[in-house]
């Protein structure tokens, strides 16, 4: 290139070369390309330009902001409403949803004898329950979701049934039938020992254990006709009353005293009423008040002896039934009250007939034991004396009735004592006629006949005595010899308690005291004594009745020498009452009530014993008198209570003068 030439400049040209647009700025950064010139306007109608998208975005933002503000305002209003105005109600509702009221059962009181030996008491047990439908669904779902890790319900229920058989001794097949049933809820087994129930529920938590109680009767049939039976009852709509309740006997009549008052407590649970109680959440507790213990006048040893020997004697005599009572001569306290048939309240089923208590509920015609009424009245009103002699024919006419003695005889010279010791119907009616119907009727009332004794045992019968206004001419030919009226063996013994207690009748009682839950002992009020006859009248009659057990050469032997107890003076009276034939409605010559009432000892009374046999085999050696049983009972009582021997022997008295 020639010197002086500049690159890019044309030779001979003047000035600078034409400027070339720079596409790359200094420093290496690219420059934007030059803007194209705007195209020339076209002629024609003007086109409307669209609003830019940026404007629509701004509107949406504004709308969203407005909605957010509205939402925040609504939320604030609701928050104020909930926290300020609805807070108490919602809090209470929440509390109810996670809280439950748990009933607290009261412990039923015990029944004990006069020595404190238990006749009935409560034992806490468990009842196991299950929810088959829910458990089947749960186990099958778990088995399907985790194959190999969980059993299906068939396998799980089989394991549970087998485990219950091993621990509880129940039949696995029966348990399996309940576990696999379509029911929502089933009871599996009742009355399980708490420790054994815990073994099952620890291994199988889905099994529920309800706290219950059972009544235990350690003597089994001992005094069962008196005590009765109680079992768990759930028939009351109020679940608080689901507890042990009496079905019969004192368990029933004293149910309120024994049952106590249930309580309750409020607790929080994990899942409401069906959840687990959260520890430490117990509140608003109303404590249960346990029932009171009841102390009876019964002596368990005496009761056992009387029950066993009465049943054996009734069987030996061929009697359909038998009842007996042993009573304190002065206080009227019942030491034993027995029937030949009893039941075991520990067993799950009971014989309704055996649960009855005929000693207080079944009246009978007493027969000659009722002659004590005439004896008391004739001595009280000065009509006769023990040694007075009476001419007693073989029969007597009373209105349209002809009454005979139990043995055939002509005119006899009998003392007053002899009339009752030899049980002469004719001689008794002669004395009763001198007493008169009005005074005789009054004596029946004083002795409590035709009235309940008020002993406190359920089902007590008042017996039956025709009102004086309804007596016919022949009525007074029946009542003095123990026909045409009825009484229970308890009422019969009460009559002789009057004689033993120097003329004061003390209504019998069998409940001695109440022992409250705090340990305080409340004695039951003793019945007020009722003066029936003067003391000397009762003593005279008691001495006259010693001759009943007198064994002497004919004709001075009484009707029950088998009742005599060596070393003791014994007063008593036999009875043989014809029963009504249900077909002919006349007195039977083969079916009898055989009775005996006795006082031990006669010179210092301690006990009164009453016995009745229903339709024994009268022709058998043991079927025509209850005196031998009295002898055995009196001998037992004398030994058990160390009753002192009588100071003098029973004197032998004249009953009938020689012809």
Residue 23 is predicted with a pLDDT of: 47
What single-letter DSSP state applies at residue 85? I
CA distances from 375 to 387, 435, 489, 495, 641 (A): 13, 10, 19, 12, 31
CA separation for the pair 508, 513 (Å, rounded): 15
Residue 67 is predicted with a pLDDT of: 82
Q: Cα 264 vs. chain centroid, distance in angstroms?
A: 22
Alpha helices in 191-299 (DSSP H): 194-203, 224-227, 249-253, 255-259
CA separation for the pair 491, 462 (Å, rounded): 9
Give the CA radius of gyration of the chain: 50
CA separation for the pair 491, 592 (Å, rounded): 19
Task: Give SS3 for 155.
Answer: helix
CA separation for the pair 91, 63 (Å, rounded): 38
Residue 242 is predicted with a pLDDT of: 79
Pairing of strands 111-112, 293-296: parallel
Task: Give SS3 for 321.
Answer: strand
Instruction: Write the DSSP assignment of 561-602 as a string of letters.
Output: GGG-BTTB--EEEEEEEEEEPTTT-SEEEEEEEEEEEEEESS
Query: For every residue of 402-470, which 3-state class applies, written as one string?
Result: EEECCCCCCCEEEEHHHHHHCCCHHHHHHHHHHHCHHHHHHHHHHCCCCCCCCCCCCCCCCCECCCHHH
The residues, ordered by sequence, that sit 6+ positions from 350 with a Cβ below 8 Å of its Cβ are 229, 343
Q: Supply φ then ψ for residue 656, to 5 degrees.
A: -145, 130
Q: Cα 111 vs. chain centroid, distance in angstroms?
A: 11
What single-letter DSSP state applies at residue 26? G
CA separation for the pair 355, 248 (Å, rounded): 8
CA separation for the pair 500, 598 (Å, rounded): 9
Low-confidence ranges of the chain (pLDDT < 50): 1-18, 20-21, 23-25, 27-28, 272-274, 276
The residues, ordered by sequence, that sit 6+ positions from 434 with a Cβ below 8 Å of its Cβ are 378, 383, 384
CA distances from 435 to 87, 432, 485, 487, 604 (A): 89, 5, 18, 22, 29
Q: Provide the β-strand partners of residue 215.
A: 122
How many other C-beta atoms can be found within 10 angstroms of the C-beta atom of residue 444? 21
Q: Cα 552 vs. chain centroid, distance in angstroms?
A: 53
345 closest CA partner among 186, 483, 229: 229
Q: Cα 598 vs. chain centroid, distance in angstroms?
A: 35
pTM assigned to the model: 0.80
Residue 309, Cβ density class (10 Å: 0-12 exposed, 13-18 middle, ≥19 buried): middle
Copy the structure tokens of residue 10: 């044309």
How many other C-beta atoms can be found within 10 angstroms of the C-beta atom of residue 588? 14
Strands (E) located in 134-228: 186-192, 208-216
CA separation for the pair 228, 217 (Å, rounded): 10
Residue 221 is predicted with a pLDDT of: 96
Residue 2 is predicted with a pLDDT of: 44
What residues are annotated to the active site?
Answer: 368
Residue 145 is predicted with a pLDDT of: 86
Q: Supply φ then ψ for residue 172, to 5 degrees.
A: -65, -35
Strands (E) located in 408-553: 412-415, 504-505, 511-515, 521-523, 530-531
């Amino acid at each position: 290139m020639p010197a002086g030439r500049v690159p890019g400049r044309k030779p001979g040209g003047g000035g600078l070369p034409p400027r070339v647009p720079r596409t790359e700025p200094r420093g290496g950064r690219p420059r934007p390309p030059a803007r194209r010139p705007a195209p020339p306007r076209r002629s024609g109608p003007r086109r409307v330009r669209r609003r830019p998208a940026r404007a629509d975005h701004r509107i949406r933002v504004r709308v969203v902001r407005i909605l957010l503000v509205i939402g925040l305002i609504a939320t604030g209003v609701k928050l104020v409403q909930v926290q300020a105005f609805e807070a108490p109600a919602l809090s209470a509702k929440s509390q109810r949803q996670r809280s439950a009221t748990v009933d607290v059962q009261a412990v039923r009181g015990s029944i004990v004898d006069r020595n404190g030996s238990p006749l009935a008491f409560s034992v806490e047990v468990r009842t196991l329950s299950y929810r088959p439908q829910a458990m089947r669904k749960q186990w099958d779902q778990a088995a399907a979701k985790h194959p190999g890790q969980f059993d299906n319900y068939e396998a799980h229920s089989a394991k549970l049934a087998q485990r219950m058989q091993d621990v509880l001794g129940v039949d696995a097949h029966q348990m399996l039938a309940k576990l696999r049933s379509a029911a929502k809820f089933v009871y599996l087994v009742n009355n399980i020992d708490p420790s054994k129930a815990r073994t099952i529920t620890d291994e199988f938590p889905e099994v529920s254990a309800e706290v219950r109680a059972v009544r235990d009767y350690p003597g089994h049939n001992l005094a069962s006709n008196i005590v009765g039976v109680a079992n768990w009852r759930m028939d009351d709509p109020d679940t608080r009353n689901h507890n042990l309740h009496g079905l019969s006997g004192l368990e029933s009549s004293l149910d309120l005293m024994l049952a106590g008052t249930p309580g309750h407590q409020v607790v929080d649970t994990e899942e409401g009423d069906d959840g687990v109680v959260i520890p430490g959440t117990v509140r608003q507790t109303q404590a249960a008040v346990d029932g009171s213990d009841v102390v009876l006048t019964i002596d368990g040893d005496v009761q056992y002896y009387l029950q066993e020997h009465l049943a054996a004697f009734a069987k030996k005599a061929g009697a359909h039934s038998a009842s007996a009572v042993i009573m304190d001569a002065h206080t009227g306290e019942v030491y034993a009250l027995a029937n030949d048939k009893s039941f075991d309240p520990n067993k799950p089923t009971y014989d309704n007939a055996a649960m009855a208590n005929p000693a207080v509920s079944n009246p009978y015609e007493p027969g000659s034991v009722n002659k004590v009424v005439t004896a008391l009245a004739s001595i009280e009103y000065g009509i006769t004396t023990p040694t007075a002699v009476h001419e007693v024919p073989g029969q007597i006419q009373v209105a349209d009735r002809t009454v005979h003695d139990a043995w055939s005889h002509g005119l006899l010279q009998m003392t007053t004592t002899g009339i009752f010791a030899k049980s002469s119907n004719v001689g008794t009616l002669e004395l009763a006629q001198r007493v008169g119907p009005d005074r005789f009727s009054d004596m029946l009332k004083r002795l409590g006949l035709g009235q309940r004794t008020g002993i406190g045992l359920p089902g007590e019968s008042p017996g039956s005595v025709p009102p004086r206004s309804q007596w016919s001419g022949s009525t007074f030919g029946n009542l003095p010899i123990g026909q045409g009226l009825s009484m229970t063996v308890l009422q019969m013994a009460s009559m002789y308690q009057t004689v033993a207690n120097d003329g004061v009748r003390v209504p019998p009682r069998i409940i001695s005291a109440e022992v409250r839950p705090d340990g305080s002992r409340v004695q039951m009020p003793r019945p007020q004594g009722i003066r029936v006859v003067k003391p000397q009248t009762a003593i005279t009659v008691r001495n006259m009745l010693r001759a009943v057990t007198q064994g002497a050469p004919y004709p001075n032997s009484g009707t029950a020498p088998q009742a005599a107890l060596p070393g003791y003076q014994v007063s008593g009276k036999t009875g043989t009452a014809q029963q009504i034939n249900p077909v002919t409605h006349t007195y039977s010559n083969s079916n009898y009530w055989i009775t005996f009432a006795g006082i031990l000892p006669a010179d210092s009374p301690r006990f009164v014993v009453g016995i009745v046999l229903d339709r024994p085999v009268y022709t058998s050696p043991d079927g025509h008198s209850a005196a031998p049983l009295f002898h055995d009972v009196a001998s037992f009582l004398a030994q058990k209570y160390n009753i002192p021997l009588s100071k003098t022997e029973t004197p032998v008295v004249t009953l009938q003068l020689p012809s």
